[in-house]
Amino acid sequence: MQNLEEYKGVFVFAQQLDNEVSGIAYELLGKAKDLAAPLGAQVTAVLIGSGVEDQCDKLAEYGADRVILVDDPELKEYRTEPYAHALSSVINEFKPEIVLVGATAIGRDLGPTVSARVATGLTADCTVLEIGDFPLVAIPGKEAEQKHNQLLMTRPAFGGNTIATIACPNNRPQMATVRPGVMQKIDPIKGAKAEVVKYNPGFTPNNRYVSIKEVVKAVNDVADIMDAKILVSGGRGVGSAENFKILEDLAAVLGGTVSCSRAVVDSGWKPKELQVGQTGKTVRPNVYFAIGISGAIQHVAGMEESDIIVAINKDEDAPIFDVADYGVVGDLNKIVPQLTEAIKAQIAAK
Amino acid sequence: MKIVVCIKQVPDTKGGVKFNPDGTLDRGAMLAIMNPDDKAGLEAALKLKDQYGAEVTVLTMGLPKATDVLREAIAMGADKGILVTDRVLGGADTWATSTTLAGALRNLDYDLIITGRQAIDGDTAQVGPQIAEHLGLPVISYAQEISVDEKAGTILVKRQYDDRYHMVEAKLPCLVTALSELGTPRYMTPGGIFDACKAEITTWGRADLKDVEDCNLGLAGSPTKIAKASDKVRKGAGEKVVPESPEDAVKYIVGKLTEKHVI
Amino acid sequence: MDFTLPKEHEMARQLFKEFAENEVKPLAQEIDEQHRFPRETVEKMAKYGFMGIPVPKEYGGQGCDTLTYAMCVEELSKVCGTTGVIVSAHTSLCIDPILTFGTEEQKQKYVVPLAKGEKLGAFGLTEPGAGTDAQGQQTKAVLDGDEWVLNGSKCFITNGKEADVYVIFAVTGKVEKRGRVMKEISAFIVEKGTPGFTFGTKENKMGICASSTYELIFTDCRIPKENLLGAQGKGFNIAMHTLDGGRIGIASQALGLAEGALETTINYVKERKQFGRSIGQFQNTQFQLADMATKVEAAKLLVYKAAKKKDEYKTNPKVSYSFEAAQAKLYAAEVAMEVTTKAVQLHGGYGYIKEYGVERMMRDAKITEIYEGTSEVQRMVISAQLLK
C-alpha cells in the first residue's frame, strides 16, 4: 500500500523536440502553478533529453520552481522505453502528488506506459484541472470519507458529446494528459532561475528498446479538412473563385484551412475535396468560420459539431445563424480582410 | 506468425450522435460497431496473414453482445475470436482494462499484438501501451505503416508524431497501436459471414485470466473514479449581432476568439 | 412462422448496405448520366464474393442462400438500380442455369470463374420477334460434326458487351406435341470471342442507363458440341426455370428501388420547409408515406418468401417457386413504380432535377415492370396456377 502522504508537489513532463522545449510544456507549467497554490506545493519540470540543460532557464521563466534534468545520450530522440524509464524513475524517486503530461503524440504514449509502470491511474486529454473534493459532495453519514485536495480532471469523451470529471483518490501520483492549446502559459518572468536537480537512473538497453532507422520531419501536404482544427469556410456569398483569397489569408494567419459549401463546388470555384456537408465531408474543427454561407440543412449537417461556429452573412435571416455561436450580420468583403489584419496584429503583439 | 488483435465494441458516432428529447445522449439509438482504429489494426493483421499466412486471433473484453464484433472480424478473415466477459470486470478504467487483457494475453502465443490507437467512446489511447507495460513488451504507438521481417524476427513501423514520423524497428514480440491510416478495412464477405455465425467463440471469465490480482480488476480495481459525468447538451443558436461598422464586427469577433483562446 | 432475420442475414444486410453506401452510391448519378458500365464496381464486388452469393463453395461461390443474394440485389438497388441488375442477370440468368442443368465439366469450367467474379455472365433468350413467347425464336443451331453452328440474333441483352459467358437459346429442330408441330429449343453456353459472335447496337434506354444492353449477333458461330446446356430440346424448360429465378432477382431490384426512394423521401420531407414547417408535418405527406412504406413492406415479404421457396427447391426439386416468384416480381415492380413516382412528386421541383436521385429511381423502376416477363406475363403465370 502506498503512503499517499509521502507524495508532494506538482510535476510537469517538459516535452522537448530537437532540444527545444515544446509549447505544451509551458502551458502545463501555467496550470501547475494554479494547482500548486492551494496545495502549498512546488512546481517541478521534468526535462528529459540529451544535451538539453540549456532549456532549464526557460522552464524557470514559465513558472518552474525546480527542474529535474535527466540527460543521457540514450534520450536523444523520443523512444517509449528510455523515456518511460526516465520519468517513472523520477516519480519513484521524488514522489510527486500530481504529474501532468501533454496529450501529444509523445505524451499519449509516455503517459499510459509510465502510469502502468508506477501503478496509478491516468486521465486522458483533460481540458479542465482543478483541486477539489472527492466525492464532490460528501455522502451523508460518511463525511469523514470525503477526500480533500484531490485533482479533479475533466475531459470530453465520445467525440466531445459527453464530459466527465475524474479523480484518482487512492493512488499517487494523480496523472493526467492535457490537451494542447487549452491551458494558459504565464507571461515569462525574465531572468527567473529554478533549482536544477540532475538525476540519471541509468539506461541499459533491453528488448523494449526500439531502434530508430529514420526521422522524417513532415512537410504539410494537401490539407485534409477533416483534420483541420480551424476551418475558414466560404459559400456562394464569397462571390467568385478569386475572392476566396481573402478567406485563404484569414486561414493562413490562424493556421487553418479553407473549406466551402456545395454551391462553391458546383460553381467550380473549389474542388470537391473541400466541400463540407451531407454530400461532402463532415467536419468537427475547434473553430468553424461560415462566411457567406446561408446554412442549408445539408451544409449544417456536415459542420454543426464544430466546437465554435462563427458566421458572417449579410442576410440577417440566414439559417446559419441558428447554429452559430457568434453570428455577425455584415459584408464579408469588408469584415474578413480587416479581421485578418486584426488577428495578425494581435498575434504579433504576443 | 501469430497475431492477436484487441478490438472493442463501441457506439457508432458517425453520421451524428443521437440525442434524447432532453438533450442527453441516446446510446440505445446508436449502432454498436467495431472501433474504427481497431478495425484498421485488424486490416493490418489480415494483410500480414495474406502475405505470410499468419494466424489472426481477435480478443475483446465486454458484454456478451460484444461477440458481434468478433464475428465481424472472423467474417473479414480472422481465424478465431475470444471474448473476455465477467461481471467482476465491469466498470473498468484503462488500468483495469489493460490488466484484464494482459491476463488474457498471457494464455496466448503471439509474435505481434495490435490494438487500435484509441476508441471513439473513450478517446484515451491508453490501453495499448498499458498492455505492453504489463506484458513487458516493446510498444510502438501511432503506427501508420508496418512491415514484418519474419526471418529476422523484427517489425518496422512508420510511427507518426505531431510534426514528423520515425521509422522504428523493434524485436518481436511487440505491441503496435494502429492509426486509421494503417489500412482501409476490407469488407466482410457473405460466405465469411455465414462461417462466422457458425464459428465457436471462446469465452473466458475472471478465472481464466492469468497472473492477475483481483485488486486490479473491474470498477474496484480502477484507480480513476468518475466524480461527475454529464452528456453535453446540444447547443442551439448562440449570439447574433448586427454591428454598426466592419470595425465593430472585427472587434467583436477578435474579442470572442481571444476569450476562447483561439488567438 | 418467424419474421426475425437470422444473425447471418442481419450481418449480410449490414455488409451490403455499407458497400452500397461507400462504393456504389457515389457513382450512381455519374454512371447514369454517362451511360457508363461500372466495371470498377464489378471488380470490387468480385473481390468480396458478391458475384457468386448463392453458389456452393465447391464451385467458387460463397455458399449462402437465395435470401442473402436477394438482399444483396436489394441493397445495391437502393442506391443504384443498374448495379443491382448487373448482379441479378449474372447470378440468376447465367450462373443458375449452368449450375442447375450443366455437366460437372461445365460447372468447373464456367461456374467457378463466374462465381468468383473473374468472368461476367449474360443470358440471351429475347429476339426482335420473340419475347417471353419462346416459340417465336428465330436463332438456329445446327450440329455439324463436333460443333454447333449458331445463326441469328438476340436483343436487349443485359450485361451485353461486358459479359464473358452467355447462355443462349436457339432452335435445334422440330417436334410434334399434342398434334402440333413445335420448335425444339435448346440451350448453349457461348464464350465471348468465339468467331462469328459479334455485338450489334447498344440500346439507349430510359433507365438503368449504365447497364450494358446490347444486341448479340451470331453468324456461323461455331461452338463445341459439349457446350450444349442440358439435354437437346430442353431449352424451353431451362429458360422458364431460369426466368423463375431471375424474377426473384428483379423483384429484389424493384424492392430496393422502392426502398431507396422511400428513404430519400423521408429524409427530404423532414428537412424541406414550406409555409413555415417541414413538409413532413403536412397530413398529405404523412399519408402518402404511410401508404408507400406499407406497400414496400408487403413487397419485401413477397420477395423474401419467394427466395426462401427457391432454397426449398434446392433440397427438394419437386418444389416449384414459379408462382411465388411471379407474385413477388409483379407486386414489387408495381410498388417500385408507384413509390418512386410518389417520391418524385413529394420532392416537387427537386424531384424532377437530378440532384436527389429520385428521378433516376423512377426511370429505373419502369423496367422492372417490363423485363424478365412483363407484369402482364406475371399475371398470366399467377392466374394459370390459380385456374389449374
B80-94 pLDDT per residue, tens: 999 999 999 998 999
Residue tagged active-site, from C74, C75, C334, C372: C372
All three cell numbers of C41, joined, read 464496381
CB pairs under 8 A between B and C: 50
List the 52-111 stretch of C: residues with Cβ below 8 A of B. 53, 57, 61-64, 68, 72
Indicate whether B27 pLDDT > 80. Answer: no
**Structural domain A225-349, CATH architecture:** 3-Layer(aba) Sandwich (3.40)
CATH superfamily of A4-198: HUPs (3.40.50.620)
Q: Which of A197, A174, A178 is nearest to A48 (CA)?
A: A197
pLDDT (0 to 100) of residue A222: 47
| Residue with grid cell 505492453, as numbered in its chain | B132
Q: What does the pLDDT read at residue A182? A: 75
Q: Does B17 contact A at CB distance below 8 Å?
A: yes
Statement: residue B234 has pLDDT above 60: no
CB of C163 closer than 8 Å to CB of C121: yes
| C68 contacts B190? CB cut-off 8 A | yes
**Interchain CB distance below 8 Å, B262 and A78:** no
Do residue B163 and residue A217 have CB atoms under 8 angstroms apart?
yes
Residue pLDDT, tens place only, A78-125:
999 999 999 999 999 999 999 999 999 999 999 999 999 999 999 998
Per-residue pLDDT at C249 exceeds 90: yes
How much of chain B exceeds pLDDT 90, in percent?
Answer: 75
Please state, in angstroms and rounded to a whole number, the distance separating the CA atoms of residues C247 and B122: 48
| Amino acid sitting at position A342 | A
Verify whether the Cβ–Cβ distance B230 to A209 is below 8 Å.
no
- Residue C325 — very low, low, confident or very high, per pLDDT cuts 50/70/90? very high
pLDDT tier, C162 (very low <50, low <70, confident <90, very high otherwise): very high
pLDDT interval class at B22 (50, 70, 90) = low
What are the CA-CA distances from residue B79 to residues B45, B57, B100, C50 (Å)? 11, 6, 22, 21
Task: Name every chain B residue with its beta carbon within 8 A of the beta carbon of A136.
Answer: 227-228
Beta strands in chain A (DSSP E): 10-13, 16-17, 20-21, 43-49, 66-71, 98-102, 122-126, 128-134, 147-157, 162-167, 174-178, 195-198, 211-217, 230-234, 257-260, 287-291, 308-313, 326-329
Dist CA C41 CA C46 (whole Å): 8
pLDDT at C342: 98
Q: Distance between CA atoms of B33 and B44, rounded to whole angstroms?
A: 18
Buried b (16+ CB within 10 A) or exposed e, A303-325: bbbbbbbbbbbeeeebbbbbbbb
Q: In this complex, which of A218, A323, A346 lies closest to B263 when CB atoms are compared?
A: A346
CA–CA distance, C1 with C70 (Å, rounded to integer): 20
Return the H-helix or E-strand segment holding B143.
Answer: strand B139-149
Mean local confidence (pLDDT), C257-280: 90
Tens-digit pLDDT profile for residues C81-90:
999 999 999 9
Q: Is pLDDT larger for residue B241 or for residue C111?
A: C111
Mean confidence (pLDDT) of chain A: 91
Q: Which residue on chain B is closest to C7 by alpha carbon?
A: B197
B223 has pLDDT over 60: yes
A326 touches chain B (CB under 8 A): yes
Q: Using alpha carbons, select from A89, A15, A19, A12 the residue that is nearest to residue A45.
A: A12
Interchain proximity B138–A210, CB inside 8 Å? yes
Ranked by mean pLDDT, the top range of A131-145, A157-171, A190-204 is A190-204
**A309 in contact with B at a CB cutoff of 8 Å?**
yes
Note the pLDDT tens digit of each residue in B179-217.
988 889 999 999 999 999 999 999 999 999 999 999 999
pLDDT at position C298 over 50: yes
Q: Interhelix angle for B67-76 vs B190-198, to 10°?
A: 130
Tell me the mean pLDDT in the region C209-214: 96
Contact B125, B132 (CB under 8 A): no
Domain boundaries, chain A: 4-198, 225-349
Residue A127 cell numbers, joined: 481540458
At C88, which helix (H) or strand (E)? Answer: helix C81-88
CA distance A240 to A221: 25
Neighbours of C87 (CB within 10 A): 25
**What percent of chain A is predicted at pLDDT more than 70?**
96
Look up the pTM and report it.
Answer: 0.85
Residues in a beta bridge with A45:
A12, A67
Q: Mean pLDDT lowest for which of A303-307, C235-239, C369-373?
A: A303-307
Q: State how far Cα B195 lies from the chain centre.
A: 25
Q: Report the alpha-carbon distance of residue C287 to residue A95 in Å, rounded.
A: 70
Please identify which residue in the block is written with the cell numbers 440532384: C355
Burial class (CB in 10 A: 0-12, 13-18, 19+), C220: exposed
**pLDDT of B23 above 60:** no
Measured between alpha carbons, how far is A279 from A335 in angstroms, rounded to an integer? 29
Tell me what pLDDT residue C129 has: 82
What is residue A220's predicted lDDT score, i.e. its pLDDT? 47
Q: How far is CA A41 from CA A8, A48, A130, C186, in A?
A: 7, 22, 14, 95
pLDDT value at B162 more than 80:
no
* Yes or no, beta carbons of A120 and B129 under 8 Å apart: no
Q: What is the reported pLDDT for B85? A: 97
B13, B14, B228 ranked by CB distance to A158: nearest: B13
Specify the DSSP class assigned to residue C200: E
Q: Is the pLDDT of residue A302 over 80?
A: no
Q: How many CB atoms lie within 10 A of CB A164?
A: 18
| C-interface mutation test, from B186, B189, B201, most C Cβ less than 10 A away | B189
Judge whether residue A280 has pLDDT over 70.
no
Best of C5, C8, C64 to mutate (most B CBs within 10 Å, chain B): C8
Cβ of residue C15 closer than 8 Å to a chain B Cβ: yes
Q: Which residues of B touch A309 (CB under 8 A)?
A: 238
In the predicted structure, residue C271 carries a pLDDT above the cut 50: yes
Smallest CA-to-CA distance from A217 within C132, C51, B163, B151 is with: B163
* DSSP strand pairing (B139-149 vs B154-160): antiparallel
When scoring B187, B197, B198 by the number of chain C Cβ atoms within 10 A, the one with the most, hence best to mutate, is B187
| Interchain CB distance below 8 Å, B196 and C11 | yes
At residue B96, does pLDDT exceed 70?
yes
Q: What is the mean pLDDT of residues A129-133?
A: 96
Q: What pairs with residue A11 in β-bridges?
A: A44, A99
Nearest CA to A322 out of C272, C122, B235 is that of: B235
Equal fold, A4-198 vs A225-349: yes
Q: What would the mean pLDDT of A287-294 be, rounded to a whole number?
A: 95
Q: Does C271 touch chain B (CB under 8 A)?
A: no
Residue type, C262: L
Mark which residues 193-222 of B lie under 8 Å from A by CB.
222
Is B190–C57 a contact, with Cβ atoms under 8 angstroms apart?
no
Contact C6 B196 (CB under 8 A): no
Q: CB A105 to CB B162 under 8 A?
A: yes
Q: Is the pLDDT of residue B236 over 70?
A: no
Nearest one of A280, A221, A285, A217 to A256, comparing CA atoms: A285
Q: Least CA distance to A166: which residue of chain B?
A: B226
Partners of residue C15 in chain B, C-beta under 8 Å: 75, 187-190, 193
With pLDDT > 90 as the criterion, what percentage of chain C qualifies?
A: 89
Distance from CA of B223 to the nearest CA of C (A): 38
Q: What is the ipTM of this complex?
A: 0.93
Which of A44-58, A185-199, A206-220 shows the lowest per-residue confidence on average (mean pLDDT)? A206-220
Contact present, C253 and C84 (Cβ < 8 Å): yes
pLDDT tops 80 at residue A305: no
Mean model confidence pLDDT for chain B? 91
Residues whose CB falls within 8 Å of the CB of residue B28, separated by 6 or more in sequence, listed in order: none
Over residues C26-41, the pLDDT tens digits come to 999 999 999 999 999 9
C372 is catalytic: yes
Mean pLDDT of B114-142: 94
C-alpha distances in Å from residue B117, one per residue of B67, B121, B126, C187: 21, 12, 8, 57
B207-241: burial string, b at 16+ Cβ within 10 Å, e else: eebeebeeebbbeebbbbbebeeebbeeeeebebe
Query: What are C165-210's pLDDT values in tens digits?
Result: 999 999 999 998 888 888 999 999 999 999 999 999 999 999 999 9
Where does residue A119 fall: left (phi above 0), alpha (psi -120 to 50 degrees), or beta otherwise?
left
Phi/psi for B97 (5° steps) reads -65, -45
pLDDT-derived band at B19, boundaries 50, 70, 90: low
Residue A248 has pLDDT above 90, yes or no: yes
CB contact under 8 A, B239 and A325: yes
pLDDT band at B262 (very low <50, low <70, confident <90, very high): confident
B67: closest chain C residue by CA:
C7
> C115 CB near a chain B CB, below 8 Å?
no
Mean pLDDT confidence for A180-193: 88
* Contact residues on chain B for C5, CB-CB shorter than 8 A: none
Q: Taking 70 as the threshold, does the pLDDT of residue C212 lie above it?
A: yes
Q: Does C178 touch chain B (CB under 8 A)?
A: no
Mean pLDDT estimate for chain C = 95
Residue B197 touches chain C, beta carbons under 8 Å: yes
For the ranges A276-285, A290-299, C63-72, C121-130, which has the lowest average pLDDT? A276-285
C211 pLDDT exceeds 60? yes
B206: left (phi over 0), alpha (psi -120 to 50) or beta: alpha
What was the pLDDT predicted at A304? 82
Give residue A312's Cα distance to chain centre.
Answer: 27
- A158 to B120: CB separation less than 8 angstroms, yes or no: yes
Give me the residues of A, 169-228, that contact B with CB < 8 A.
169-171, 181-182, 184, 207-218
A231 has a pLDDT exceeding 60: yes
The CA distance from C221 to C12, in Å, is 42
CA A176 from chain center: how many Å? 12
Cα(B45)–Cα(B54) distance, integer angstroms:
8
